Amino acid sequence: VKRDIITIDDLSNEEIENLFALADTFLPAHPEDGESDGPARVRGRLDLADKFILASLFYEPSTRTRFSFNSAMHRLGGSVIESADPMTTSVAKGETIADTIRVIENYADVIVIRHPREGAARVAADYARIPVINAGDGGHEHPTQTLCDLYTFRREKKSLKNLNVLLCGDLKNGRTIHSLVFALARFGARIITRPAEGLELPPHVRRRLENDYGCITVPKEKIDSLAEIPDIDLVYVASKEHLPFESPADIVVNVQLRKKDLSQFDVCYVTRFQSERYSSGEKKSAYPVVDREFLSKSHYKKTRVLHPLPRVDELAYDIDDDPRGAYFQQASYGVPVRMALMATLLGVGKASLSQPKAAKESYSNSEGIACPNPRCVSNDDAEKRYLVPRFWVVPTTPPLLRCTYCEVEVKAGCVGSISTRRYYTDTSVLKSMKLPDVIVFASEQEAQKAGFEPARTPARKSLAAR
Ligand code: NCD
């Protein structure tokens, strides 16, 4: 069975560790003089993947991701077919993702795709019989960048556990940030956010940190040792075990932070303003900058500064010669890490992947509620010809619908039963109804417009009777 890497959750922690062990074997065992701390370069070509072809489809600009995937495939002994400019393929003639993929999959053994639409890589994976790797889908996720980030943390800091990681910049639209926070939570790091004004982590990402990963959010004011650091917003701690507080029971009302737990930041992860995700009229307000002066505080003595690159103004060039800057190392690890990932997906690497998780049941209906995210692939005019809105039911109270493409969540307005043509305003019925009988509406008006009538009995009673 093929495995796709669409979100960072498509890999378990153990699988990530195994990939890293394999990536180590691709780097020179004895770095040449002066190279031990600097960027790393894989040498030569192996014959591991000499029977394989990578199809590389980039619908958005890319330097590191595209070149390092291509280089990785060449270093593995394989070959690459690619489109770096959608205007040179049938996309320019209006071809959909599903059609492009059903053609390209016959020409290659693995597909890497970058696309401006959130959820586009999921669509590609749904239509391909060969593994699909997400190289960035809009502002959603960028899981292989996270692999490079974690690999850098591991090489620089030895372990991923208990790290204090400061995230700076556009946390709202940065896809590298979204994949990274979930991984950090899973590996037990403390996440400290320093967003540009108005560009905090999006609500659905914050909710998932708390609901899916058991993170606990602590406002900065609760933390004495952060008082003197400007612009810090929130601290997310991965679980009660990682809570550096005296009394976990008190967290909401009275957090007692042990000073030493947050006295040093292990990583400062800087991101650029994602200008392409904004309409041209929108202006960015003051944007946090990381430079030598920022790093002069005692918290940053042993910090490693990372950046997925490209940088604009948010990361000063005066850190390039500072031993704390590790962003060029980070970019160089793109090759060994992507070699390990592709070799493993193709079944030629020493690491192995477990069977894919059985797909959860999802709710899907061409009528009724649609994904509220205008950048979701399911809202694209061309892709809409064949894509039907599809959601997981998140069992919170009230339950939420999480788009299976872009993972943005929406509250149900009311829930209808297709067989009885009645609707319930108590949306908790979603958790007990059979999904093929369900139609979710954004509002009661929408339900009525579709010819549904309000249920006469309260939801629980009428469902129990059936
Ligand atoms: C990032 C991306 O494309 O999301 N770049 C990368 O892949 N290294 C970050 C960015 O463009 O800001």
Express as a percent the part of the chain with pLDDT over 90: 67
pLDDT at 350: 81
pLDDT at 180: 97
Spatial distance between the Cα atoms of 243 and 169, rounded to a whole number of angstroms: 25
Please indicate whether residue 145, judged by its CB atom, sits closer than 6 Å to ligand 1. Answer: yes
How many Cβ atoms are within 10 Å of 447's Cβ, its own excluded? Answer: 25
Spatial distance between the Cα atoms of 288 and 195, rounded to a whole number of angstroms: 7
pLDDT at 463: 59
Cα dihedral sign, 168-170-171-174: negative
Question: Which residues, including other chains, have CB under 8 Å from residue 93's CB and lie 6 or more apart?
Answer: none
pLDDT at 107: 98
Residue to mutate (ligand 1; options 56, 141, 309; most atoms within 8 A of CB)? 309
Spatial distance between the Cα atoms of 62 and 69, rounded to a whole number of angstroms: 11
Q: Is the pLDDT of residue 353 over 90?
A: no
DSSP string, 365-434: -SSS---S-TTBGGG-TTGGGT---EEEEE-SSS-EEEETTT--EEE-SEEEETTTTEEES-GGGGGTS-
Q: Take atom 1 of ligand 1 and give the residue whose Cα is closest.
A: 308
Q: Take atom 8 of ligand 1 and give the residue whose Cα is closest.
A: 308
Question: Which residues, including other chains, have CB under 8 Å from residue 295's CB and lie 6 or more apart?
Answer: 268, 303, 305, 319, 322, 324
List the beta bridge partners of residue 83. Answer: 57
Per-residue pLDDT tens over the stretch 182-218: 999 898 888 888 888 889 999 999 999 988 888 888 7
Please indicate whether residue 309, judged by its CB atom, sits closer than 6 Å to ligand 1. Answer: yes
Per-residue pLDDT tens over the stretch 443-460: 999 999 999 999 987 665
Per-residue pLDDT tens over the stretch 54-77: 999 999 999 999 999 999 999 999
**Which ligand 1 atom is the nearest neighbour of the CA of 274?**
12
pLDDT at 211: 84
Residue to mutate (ligand 1; options 65, 133, 168, 176; most atoms within 8 A of CB)? 176
3-state secondary structure of 145: helix
Express as a percent the part of the chain with pLDDT over 70: 87
DSSP string, 350-364: S----PPPPPPP-EE
Locate 171 and state its tokens. 């946390």
Burial 105-131 (b: 16+ CB within 10 A, else e): beebbbbbbbbbbbbbbbbbbbbbebb
